Structure 1
Amino acid sequence: MRSWRNERRLSLAKLKARIRYDYSYMARAERGEQAPSASLVRAYDDALEARGTLVRLHEAIQSGVGLDVLSRGHVAKAGSHVANSPAGLAEEASAQAPSEEEGISIPCRTSDGRIIFVSVPRRVFLGGLGAAAATSIVGAPLAQAAPRAPMVDRSPIEHLQAIRRVLIDSDNLFGPHQLIPKVQEQIHTITSLREGQRGTDRRQLLQVQTQFAELCGWFHQDAGDHRAAQYWMDRALQWSHGAGDPDLTVYILARKSQLAGDMLDPVEAVDVAEAAQGVARPGSRLAAVAATYAAHGYALQGEATESAREYDRARELLHAVDPDPSSSWGVWLDDAYISVQQARSQSVLGDHRGAAKGFRTAISALPPGYHRDRGVYLSREALALAGTRDAEQAATVGLEALAIGSETGSARIMAELAQLDGVLQRWHAVPSVREFRDSLDACVVHEA
């Protein structure tokens, strides 16, 4: 229900005005704290033009269909916002069920009004949030939840690379939570494939396993589980040495610097980035990637001059890159990426106006497929706007980010919005601020 409401870009308050149900009842139903009545579901379905999707889903839940069935996306057709990918789920890549005690990071409203992130066991998340969790899964299926790549005329390496590409595309659209077990399944598969292999074949499998471990680290990072992200990045670094690919090792070091920045550990961010730059091959993009993450580390230390100097150095290295590199790592790095990272650093350093301008430029230049990244940039732009005391615009942009954060489950987006919630509290009487805070409130669980 919440997923469809966010897709239609309606706040809970605006939907309430349309269907005339009690606001708190609607919020509890969306959070899974109270089962919605059939009449409420039908009112949502009609108002949101879901064409019977929500009604069919509710009837399926009432008849006892489990979440494992719903998560396969066959109960109702996807909303119009979901891209139709030619790639589906691989039977070979069926997910290993995660432990019921594995934690999921979710935002929670405390009794004093703050929003904090708490880790709850997966079984509690799926059981306690009930229908809301199921609806989120069906409302934004993962390109049929995992990749299927035909094995015909493909080597195992090519097959695994095709799976990885689909996982990356699915993450950009739908977020990491349902993809993490799929990636881990591939890692276990590669471990089995390595048995009995020697020489080049074994090194190639180690290289692909490194790539999947890095991807798993990224998914955990976006999901807000930094400890798990560190674990998988450490495994990726270990396997990269076994693969004998120096460029891949440098890339993993740069990614570890980025993770340290997200964890607000500036010393580690700078040290690891400098280590990556020290071993990067001249003419590759990887030195520029590492310099970009080092620059943010300096910003976290409050060193504005050093941060700006490092961003300038990143651009110089980028413009001096070999136009025909043999390494494919870091090919996404361009001036726009460096600029959006610098905007984030400007926000940390207190230049909120410059940060807001940088994020707006980056959002305008984003390709259509980068749905989750758009949400991240919007949330950071909103926080920067709040820093300029433009509360009304900050709340408006924050609502856009919230819609994407709710769809993708990105902890990076929700963490920024939790900060925004606290900053905007002083302007609680402004209508757009009140709408943003009410909408955010409907998206989080509440302390008992």
Structure 2
Amino acid sequence: MGQRPRKLTPEASPLHQLGAEMRQIREDRGLSLRELEKKVRFSHSYMARVERGDQTPSADLVAAYDRELNAGGSLIRLHKRIISDSESSASRRVYVSNPGLHVSKTPVSLVGDEGSEAPSSEGISVPVRTDDGRIIHVSLSRRAMLGALGSAAALSAAPEVAAAASSRSARLVSGMDPIEHFRATRRVLIDNDNLFGAHKVIPIVKQQIAAIKELREQRRGADRRALIQLQTQFSELCGWLTQDIGDFRASQHWMQQALEASHMSGDPELTNFILARRSQLAGDMHDAIEAVDVAEAAEDMATPGSRLAAVAATYGAHGYALRGEKDAAQRAYEHAHELRQNMDPDPASPWGVWLDAAYIEVQRAHSLSVLGEHAAAAEGFHQAISELPPGFHRDRGVYLGRAAVAHAGAGEAEQAAAMGLQALSIGLETGSARISRELAQLDGQLNQWRNVPGVTDFKEAMSEAVLRQV
């Protein structure tokens, strides 16, 4: 006997009202969640959470409900009104003073747990200085963030992105096969993400995923498998972008979507890559056990001699550092180097092509910083920065921020402040939460040297950069 559906409470919040309406229309059409799952290609568990009001639905899910249940646009209109009201509420309450939080903790949502959990939200984690001088992180909508910055550069999307991905459907691009269009668009989006920041790219990536899903209905055989592979790649990209802006719940959602699609694609190497990426995400979330266990599973799954085995071992090594196991972390990094040196990868494989000795060493530097080996960490980051190609703008900002934190940990205040200023400039351009988290930590570390001239300059720049009000 199936579990009795939980009684809904539409009066509890607008999200509960939307969920109740979605369930009512579905039941009026005589469909179970399992039956609807086959039509809309969203998991029944995700839909159940949405109907209960436990999770904000993506725009894609609401549109799928509306279409398959013949709701005549009513669900879409209700969803848009709720999102608009939430963003308006966020823009009125940006300034936050919450003494109970530390700068390194999870971002505070201004619109409640529902808004922060939405995989489709375009939230950005930004630093805010409180009345007592600390910096905390606050989740803002992209609209509020852009309005607060008032930056013409932030408001204008890169022309390359608009040119390559302006249409919702790949079929509208003349003279190019739709599948090749998606591949070319993904390459352009990746390039522009590094140059201009994730928050500009995320909406376009989501549009591409929706277009791929539409096109899958019309294709069969090899074309459909190619589209599923592309959907996996775009979902993984969305997982990375949301990871970079600090929206870890959304990142987990997109990585789960990527993992499920990778199984459908029939490409075990792609599945292997997604598993390795999930270990990296767990490391960013400071989930040491998950980082190690998923990395080990990915390495076991990898073809012997493949590059992906070394990728997985690299991410697993940071998990040991998060657990405070210095010797185990060092052994894991040496193991990653050994795997890389002895690998015989398929030259046609696109996965993990960026892995080289320098990449492993910059990950080791990050782990050394976590383990309190600040001088060695700073040296590792300096080496990584010197070897970065010119196009890796945001990554340079991340490494600068981490190097600054390492210098502060080593008691080198002026050098820490100088590198922090460089990282701050890139952070403002890209909106990367990875950079802002490092700078918030640095800001706290430098309090003991606040009268040092270089430190004073950094703190003044941080005060000007963070959002006090909208």
| TM-score using structure 1 length | 0.75
**Structure-1 separation of matches of 2:206 and 2:289:** 30
* Structure 2 counterpart of 1:377, one-letter code: Y
- Equivalent residue in structure 1 for 2:125, among 85, 105, 110: 105
1:344 corresponds in structure 2 to 366
Q: Is residue 2:164 matched to residue 1:148?
A: yes
Do 1:99 and 1:122's aligned partners in 2 also have CA atoms closer than 8 Å? no
User: How much has 1:197 moved relative to structure 2?
Assistant: 2.3
Letter in 1 for 2:246: G
Match of 1:220 among 242, 249, 274: 242
Partner of residue 229 from structure 2, selected from 203, 207, 214 = 207
Q: How does 1:168-179 map to 2 (within 5 A)?
A: 168-179=190-201
- Spell out, residue by residue over 1:369-408, the C-alpha distance to the aligned partner (whole angstroms, 9 max, x if none): 0011000000000000001100000000100000000111
Tell me if 1:288 matches 2:310.
Answer: yes
Are the structure 2 counterparts of residues 125 and 400 from structure 1 closer, same or farther at C-alpha, using a change threshold of 3 Å?
A: closer
SS at structure 1 position matched to 2:192: helix
SS of the residue 2:138 aligns to: strand
Provide TM-score, normalisation by structure 2.
0.71
- SS of residue in 2 equivalent to 1:341: helix
| Aligned partners of 2:124 and 2:433 also within 8 Å | no
How far has the Cα of 1:106 moved from its partner? Answer: 1.5
Provide closer, same or farther for how the CA distance between residues 399 and 432 of structure 1 changes in structure 2, counting only shifts above 3 A. Answer: same
What is the root-mean-square deviation of aligned Cα atoms in Å? 1.9
Of 211, 226, 251, which aligns to 2:273? 251
Deviations 1:27-62 (A, max 9, x none): xxxxxxxxxxxxxxxxxxxxxxxxxxxxxxxxxxxx
Aligned residue pair count: 348
Q: Report if the CA contact (8 A) 2:307-2:345 is conserved.
A: no
User: After the TM superposition, which residues 420-435 of structure 1 pair with which residues of structure 2 at under 5 Å, given as runs?
Assistant: 420-435=442-457
What is the CA–CA distance in structure 2 between the aligned matches of 1:251 and 1:388, rounded to whole Å? Answer: 36
Instruction: Give the CA deviation at 1:289.
Output: 0.2
Instruction: Classify 1:166/1:326 alpha carbon distance in 2 versus 1 (closer, same or farther; 3 Å).
Output: closer
1:195 aligned residue (209, 212, 217): 217
Offset of 1:446 from its aligned partner?
Answer: 2.5
Distance in 1 between residues matched to 2:159 and 2:405, nearest whole Å: 31
Q: Give 1:94's aligned residue.
A: none
Identity %: 59
What is the CA–CA distance in structure 2 between the aligned matches of 1:322 and 1:133, rounded to whole Å? 50
5+ residue gaps, structure 2, are: 1-79, 87-120, 166-171
Give the conservation status (yes or no) of the 8 Å contact 2:276–2:311.
yes
User: Deviations 1:307-366 (Å, cap 9, x if unpaired)?
Assistant: 111101111111111154342211110000000000000000011000000000000000
Aligned to 1:137: 154
One-letter amino acid matched to 1:365? E
Q: CA separation in 1, counterparts of 2:299 and 2:202?
A: 30
Deviations 1:245-265 (A, max 9, x none): 100001000000000000010
Of the two structures, which has the highest relative contact order with CA contacts closer than 8 Å and spacing of 6 or more? 1
Tell me the CA shift for residue 136 of structure 1.
4.1
Counterpart in the other structure of 1:273: 295
- CA deviations over 1:206-265 (Å, ceiling 9, x no partner): 000100000011110111111111100000000000001100001000000000000010
Does the aligned pair in 2 maintain the 1:402–1:413 contact within 8 Å? yes
Match of 1:120 in 2: 140
**Native 8 Å contact 1:109 1:447 kept in 2:** no
For 2:159 and 2:281, the matched residues in 1 are separated by 27
Q: CA deviation at 1:278?
A: 1.1
The answer for unaligned runs of 5 or more in structure 1 is 1-96
- Quick one: which amino acid aligns to residue 279 of structure 1? M
